[in-house]
């Protein structure tokens, strides 16, 4: 059964003027709801005009509206996109509306598809150059989205534990670390891998070569499954157990993975047992 579309919206009706020297501040903003599975459309609207005159025939009014997104820490930034330029040198307020969907060009499609619960969409009035004035009467934002099913919401609230996938502890004396051995594959292939323990004291002596990855952990609810063999059971990597990692870490592995040889890598969020407080402190 298809999901019902839900909406949320915000509207502001305050007369303000924005000049070139004014700081960039949202006139109105709206948070993507926590129960949103997928945003399908965003509609921006307003009533605005420029100063009503120009000393020469400009191609466009240097007063406009931008759409921006303020995101929780750990999420990559989304680009700011211009929504609308006011009509040039027209002293009649324009009542405008612009609905963005995933079908309206690649820039807007990617922008819409990247929206996640907790993102705050902002509508920002702008003006550039002396004497140009963005005169605002109203502004609004409406979000259309597919809500999560109850089962999906419950799953999102559960803490994913991978503790059972880590066999034994790491020796502090030997300065042990776990290295992730990622099997060869193309970008879209399933990620198949295994853990192997190595001693930092023996890295140079044994010629152990590996990469270390530092990255933003991202939204903890955005996960991807990889396939992990038991430690030491490297022959059965293709029959590996499902292992949940952050989506940003999975994307990094896909980009770094080699097509013809094994990638050896250390990633803190994956190679450290996050449920073992002692191990986390030692590592």
pLDDT at position 83 is 97
Spell out the residues 6+ positions from residue 258 whose beta carbon is closer than 8 angstroms to its own. 184
Q: Residue 237: is its pLDDT beyond 60?
A: no
pTM of the entire structure?
0.57
- Residue spans of the domains in the chain: they are 6-149, 163-282
Phi/psi for 164 (5° steps) reads: -70, -15
Q: Residue 243: is its pLDDT beyond 90?
A: no
| Half-sphere exposure at residue 111, Cβ-oriented, CA atoms within 13 angstroms | 22
Query: Taking a C-beta distance cutoff of 8 angstroms, is the pair 32, 116 a contact?
Result: yes
Question: What average pLDDT does this structure show over 16-26?
Answer: 95
What letters, b where the CB count within 10 A reaches 16 and e where it falls short, cover 126-145?
Answer: bbeeeebbbbbbbbbbbbbb
Angle at alpha carbon of residue 153, lines to 249 and 9, rounded to 5°: 100
Phi/psi for 154 (5° steps) reads: -65, -40
For residue 39, the surrounding DSSP H or E stretch is strand 36-49
Query: Taking a C-beta distance cutoff of 8 angstroms, is the pair 199, 208 a contact?
Result: no
Query: Taking a C-beta distance cutoff of 8 angstroms, is the pair 18, 63 a contact?
Result: yes
Three-state DSSP class for residue 88 = coil
Question: What average pLDDT does this structure show over 56-63?
Answer: 83
Phi/psi for 95 (5° steps) reads: -90, 105
- pLDDT (tens digit per residue) in 81-127: 999 999 999 999 999 999 999 888 888 998 999 999 999 999 999 99
For residue 226, the surrounding DSSP H or E stretch is strand 223-229
- pLDDT (tens digit per residue) in 181-196: 999 999 888 999 999 8
Q: Residue 20: is its pLDDT beyond 70?
A: yes
Angle at alpha carbon of residue 83, lines to 77 and 88, rounded to 5°: 140
> Which tokens belong to 58?
């400009």
- The CA-to-CA distance between both ends of the chain, in Å, stands at 47
pLDDT at position 154 is 53
The region that residue 204 occupies, defined by phi over 0 for left and psi between -120 and 50 for alpha, beta otherwise, is: alpha
pLDDT at position 67 is 98
Q: CATH for 6-149, among 2.60.120.1310, 1.10.1040.10, 3.30.70.870, 2.60.40.10? A: 2.60.120.1310
pLDDT at position 29 is 97
| pLDDT over 70, % of the chain | 81
Question: What average pLDDT does this structure show over 76-83?
Answer: 88
Q: Residue 65: is its pLDDT beyond 70?
A: yes
Output the average pLDDT for the chain: 85
CA distance 239 to 229: 7
- pLDDT (tens digit per residue) in 194-217: 998 888 877 767 777 888 887 656
| pLDDT over 90, % of the chain | 49
pLDDT at position 215 is 62
């Amino acid at each position: 059964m298809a999901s019902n579309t839900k909406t949320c919206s915000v509207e502001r009706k305050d007369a303000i003027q924005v000049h070139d020297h004014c700081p960039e501040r949202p006139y109105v903003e709206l948070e993507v709801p926590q129960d949103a599975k997928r945003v399908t459309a965003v509609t921006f609207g307003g009533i605005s005009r420029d100063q009503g005159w120009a000393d020469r025939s400009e191609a466009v009014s240097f007063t406009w509206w931008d759409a921006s997104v303020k995101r929780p820490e750990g999420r990559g930034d989304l680009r700011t996109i211009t929504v609308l330029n006011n009509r040039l040198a027209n002293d009649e307020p324009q009542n405008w509306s612009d609905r963005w969907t995933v079908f309206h060009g690649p820039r807007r499609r990617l922008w819409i598809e990247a929206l996640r619960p907790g993102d705050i969409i902002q509508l920002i009035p702008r003006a550039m150059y002396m004497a140009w004035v963005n005169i605002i009467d109203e502004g609004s934002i409406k979000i259309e989205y597919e809500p999560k099913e109850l089962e999906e919401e419950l799953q999102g609230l559960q803490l994913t534990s991978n503790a059972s996938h880590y066999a034994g502890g790491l020796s502090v004396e030997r300065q042990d670390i776990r290295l992730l051995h990622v099997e060869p594959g193309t970008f879209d292939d399933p990620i198949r891998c295994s853990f192997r323990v190595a001693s930092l004291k023996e890295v140079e002596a044994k010629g152990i070569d590996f990469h270390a990855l530092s990255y933003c952990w991202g939204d903890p609810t955005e996960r991807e499954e990889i396939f992990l063999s038991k430690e030491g059971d490297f022959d059965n990597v293709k029959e590996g157990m499902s292992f949940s990692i952050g989506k940003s870490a999975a994307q990094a592995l896909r980009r770094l993975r080699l097509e013809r040889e094994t990638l050896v890598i250390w990633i803190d969020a994956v190679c450290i047992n996050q449920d073992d407080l002692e191990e986390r402190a030692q590592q």
